[in-house]
Amino acid sequence: MHIYAMRKSPLRKSRSSGSDLVKVSFRVPAKEYEEMLFAVKAGKYSSLSELVRHALERLILEYRESFTRKSGRSSIA
């Protein structure tokens, strides 16, 4: 998977949720994309964006926990 974050404009508040969101563009293999669509169509997620945000949240949490165990620090953020 290749991820490219492009920030063309300043960080903006989302109209819908009020949180700060940055638009990110990335490419995934076709097979993974089909699996992502299946999860959305099955009702597990309301959109591809929700699925990706959830996956990133889990990955970041995993890295934080791993970093904390290895370094003895309380957090990377």
**Would you kindly state where each structural domain of the chain is located, as residue ranges?**
27-77
Euclidean distance between CA atoms 65 and 58, whole angstroms: 11
Identify the sign of the CA torsion 46, 49, 55, 60: negative
Average pLDDT, the chain: 81
Instruction: List b or e across 5-39, with b for residues whose CB sees 16 or more CB atoms inside 10 angstroms.
Output: eeeeeeeeeeeeeeeeeeeeeeeeeeeeeeebeee
Q: pLDDT for 13-34, tens place per residue?
A: 555 555 788 999 999 999 999 9
- Token pair in block for residue 12: 């903006």
- What's residue 70's pLDDT? 80
Q: What is the mean pLDDT of residues 57-77?
A: 81
Q: Where are the beta strands (DSSP E) in the chain?
A: 2-5, 12-13, 20-21, 24-27
